[in-house]
Amino acid sequence: MPLQIIQNGTTNGWIPQIWAQEVLAHLRANIVMAPRVNRDYDTAIATYGNTVNVPLPLTLTAADAPDSGSTTVSAQSVSVELNKFKTVDVRVPDLFLAQSRPDVIANITRAAGIALAEAIENALLALYPNAAASVGTAGTDVAADTIRLARQKLVEAKVPPTEEKFVVLSPKDYAAILGDPKVTNALNYGGAEAIREGRAPTLYGMTLLESQLVPVVTGTPNTTYNLAFARDFAVLVTRPLPAPMDGTPAAIVRDDESGLTFRMVMRYDPTGKYHTVSIDVLFGVKAIRPEFAVQVRG
């Protein structure tokens, strides 16, 4: 079941399915790194500060036979603290009006979904200092040849040949790639889609992605830290938060497709005469294979 909604308490007219589906749609649409790193999620309830042990990818070596003996496989894990607790609080003066007007609820849930997505993406992109290698020059635009060098670094780090490789680029550097002669040559790079749609194709076997959240460090010159990586570079751990104990209407949402979970809580303020819908997420991130990432500086 791709989407699971568990309700708690009386909703008093609040329809969490409406909010959950809309928030989730915008959350999925605005995450770039989250679906492309290693993910660990579970139905077990957790709270801020809990630690989760995540199994590390197993690596084995082929030895000469028959005298090599057997290899004892020991499960290794890494501890990831659930130290990212992000919330979006939306004040709704008329709950029933909001739920009866698709445009109203779409506007609210879109903003909430984008805000949660940015929180998760910022945490993952902030892992760039852990990358074991770097290419490119600060203060310049990334070129196609820089992408090729990043791919070389990942291959030399023994990223499996079947493993998909990604590059997350800032708007500045994504635009530079779109204008690179090696990309605009439609005969070599799969038609005119880059020019027609403003979308860069796969380049040297690397999937190019654009993010407005790529870190830029101010200096002389400024340094843009784009990131090339494979799945096992980092892990994103999410856990559902507990429902309020006082019977406050709440819904715990778990999405198997994205591996994300979030909680929605609805409260009414009798003084202000409005409802507040809080949408929050608990997660942690950690670099687990630094050699599977390359800083692509621009």
- Cα separation, 87 vs 280, in Å, equals 4
The answer, yes or no, to whether the previous bond of 66 is cis (omega within 30 of 0) is: yes
Q: Would you state the pLDDT for residue 200?
A: 72
Contact 143, 176 (CB under 8 A): yes
The residue-averaged pLDDT of 53-68 equals 70
- Cα separation, 55 vs 80, in Å, equals 11
- Cα separation, 238 vs 27, in Å, equals 14
Scanning the structure block, which residue is given the tokens 């770039």?
32
The answer, yes or no, to whether the previous bond of 55 is cis (omega within 30 of 0) is: no
Q: How many residues does the chain have?
A: 298
**Between 147 and 67, residue with greater pLDDT:** 147
**Listed residue (37, 62, 99, 75) closest to 277, CA to CA:** 99
**Between 259 and 191, residue with greater pLDDT:** 259
What would the pLDDT profile of 210-262 be if each residue is shown by its tens digit? Answer: 999 999 999 999 999 999 999 999 999 998 888 887 778 888 888 888 888 89
Q: How far lies 279's CA from each of 7, 98, 148, 206, in Å?
A: 14, 16, 41, 35
CATH number of 132-233+291-297: 3.30.2320
- Cα separation, 37 vs 43, in Å, equals 20
Q: How many CA atoms lie within 13 A of 157 on its CB side?
A: 24
**Between 211 and 269, residue with greater pLDDT:** 211
**pLDDT surpassing 50 at residue 101:** yes
Sketch the domain layout of the chain as residue ranges. 3-53+78-126+236-284, 132-233+291-297
The 3-state DSSP class for residue 18 equals helix
Predicted TM-score (pTM) of this structure? 0.88
Contact 40, 51 (CB under 8 A): no
What would the pLDDT profile of 285-297 be if each residue is shown by its tens digit? Answer: 999 999 999 999 9
